[in-house]
Amino acid sequence: MDKKNVVYIISYITKSQVFEWTIDLLDTSKFNYSFILLHREETPFELFLKGKGFETSRINYNGKKDVLRAVATVYKTLKKRKADIVHAHMFDASFVGLLAARLKDVKTRIYTRHYSTLHHEYHPHAVMYDRIINSLSTHIIAVSGTVKKVLVEMENVKQQKISIVHHGFKLSEFENISPERIKGLRDKYKIPAGVPVIGIVSRYIHWKGIQNTIEAFRMFLEQYPDACLVLANAKGPYKKEIQEHLSKLPSKNYIEIPFETDILGLFKLFNVFVHVPVDPYSEAFGQVYIESMLSKVPGIVTLSGIANEIIKDHENALVVEYNDNKDIYERLLELYKSSELQKKLTVNAYDMAVKMFPVEVMTEVEKLY
């Protein structure tokens, strides 16, 4: 029996461990896989794909002005590759790729929804395009129950059209992180030892709630004046507002890290991880919840994305109210005063994450092919 031809269409991914882990698990004995990337220039992700031997082409794509050209190019590529299945990831790739696939009459058209209420809250004009993408697809993969709820209740997608497939994580990547690797990061960023280190891993976006953590940390400094706040992925559209909040802190008490490839090593320098999106739907999944758990760092969180499904207050994390600086501050104090609580949260969170989110969960996608 001939193998089906599966074409992945992906936009604006420079580098992603989750994508790389997923691709390493693809069963090439059952399917022929190839890739179309919508991006401005060659990226580490493109080099990764080519290094694995996958047929990969890139369309020089700079946004909506290139949509028609991109649709035409994808159409021709799908025809050339005799695509049986198209699987799109990210917004632009989903719109361009599924439209081209529908015009080419590809029977199986799948997209993975990687965002939740982003357009509803911040770009309402784009909801129309979400609805078009939903209608062009024959099946939708939601990365969490939260995303499925948004699709069903806010965008009127039929439940039978949706499957939930969580992100998985390569557990070995979180093990055996050497002391030298950790020390190298400590020295690189001058992160102090022997003081409370509060970690945030998030781009500067309003709905991530970073501003609330900064204000809570400002109160925390009254009790722990040597504490250090580390902000990783410290860039994004909310940068000006975030830096206004940071300006209220002594400069010696916080460190901004715009980009670091070794995020898993960086987690090892945190005593506490804080991730507090402003509502239940802001996160679609929230990889950092799981990364902190697998890194054995106790967390203070709001329930958003996958956290709605897995986190239990005072069992595997401390849960705070949305947009509540004082609540974050009080949980920071509670956590620092109890080594027993720190251990309980860390052990329970790690055990749960190992059971629920091994990388192999992502192979469920192939059942749809």
Where do the domains of the chain lie?
A: 4-165, 171-356
Position with higher pLDDT, 89 vs 1: 89
d(CA 295, CA 297): 6
Task: Compute CA 92 distance to the chain's CA centroid, rounded to the nearest angstrom.
Answer: 17
What is the pLDDT, as a whole number, of residue 285? 97
Identify the architecture of domain 171-356 in CATH: 3-Layer(aba) Sandwich (3.40)
**Mean pLDDT for the stretch of residues 220-241:** 96
Q: What is the pLDDT of residues 110-154, one digit of tens each?
A: 999 999 999 999 999 999 999 999 999 999 999 999 999 999 999
Backbone Cα Rg of the chain: 21
**Mean pLDDT for the stretch of residues 174-198:** 96
210: pLDDT strictly greater than 70: yes
2: pLDDT strictly greater than 90: no
**Mean pLDDT for the stretch of residues 24-45:** 95
CB 254 within 8 A of CB 277: no
Structure tokens at 297: 């760092």
Q: How far is CA 59 from CA 20, 103, 364, in A?
A: 20, 18, 29
What is the pLDDT, as a whole number, of residue 307? 98
Structure tokens at 114: 């990687």
Q: What is the pLDDT of residues 291-339, one digit of tens each?
A: 999 999 999 999 999 999 999 999 999 999 999 999 999 999 999 999 9
CB 253 within 8 A of CB 227: yes
d(CA 183, CA 37): 37
**4-165 belongs to which CATH class?**
alpha beta
d(CA 349, CA 267): 15
CB 328 within 8 A of CB 210: no
Q: What is the pLDDT of residues 72-107, one digit of tens each?
A: 999 999 999 999 999 999 999 999 999 999 999 999
Place of tokens 């028609």: 68
d(CA 108, CA 125): 28
- For the chain, the three-class secondary structure string (H helix, E strand, C coil) is CCCEEEEEEEECCCCCHHHHHHHHCCCCCCEEEEEEEEECCCCHHHHHHHHCCCEEEEEECCCHHHHHHHHHHHHHHHHHHCCCEEEEECHHHHHHHHHHHHHCCCCEEEEEECCCCHHHHHCHHHHHHHHHHHHHCCEEEECCHHHHHHHHHHHCCCHHHEEECCCCECHHHHCCCCHHHHHHHHHHHCCCCCCCEEEEECCCCHHHCHHHHHHHHHHHCCCCCCCEEEEECCCCCCHHHHHHHHCCCCHHHEEEECCCCCHHHHHCCCCEEEECCCCCCCCCCCHHHHHHHHCCCCEEECCCCCHHHHCCECCCEEECCCCCHHHHHHHHHHHHCCHHHHHHHHHHHHHHHHHHCEHHHHHHHHHHC
Place of tokens 């991914």: 13
Tell me the percentage of the chain whose pLDDT exceeds 90. 96
Place of tokens 């790739």: 93
Q: What is the pLDDT of residues 342-356, one digit of tens each?
A: 999 999 999 999 999
Q: Do domains 4-165 and 171-356 have the same CATH topology?
A: yes
Tell me the percentage of the chain whose pLDDT exceeds 70. 100
What is the pLDDT, as a whole number, of residue 176? 86
Task: Give backbone dihedrals phi and psi of 32, rounded to 5 degrees, phi first.
Answer: -95, 115
Nearest to 345 by CA among 306, 282, 300: 300
* Terminal alpha carbon distance of the chain: 15
Confidence of residue 20 (pLDDT cuts 50, 70, 90): very high
d(CA 299, CA 302): 10
What is the pLDDT, as a whole number, of residue 1? 63
**Mean pLDDT for the stretch of residues 17-37:** 94
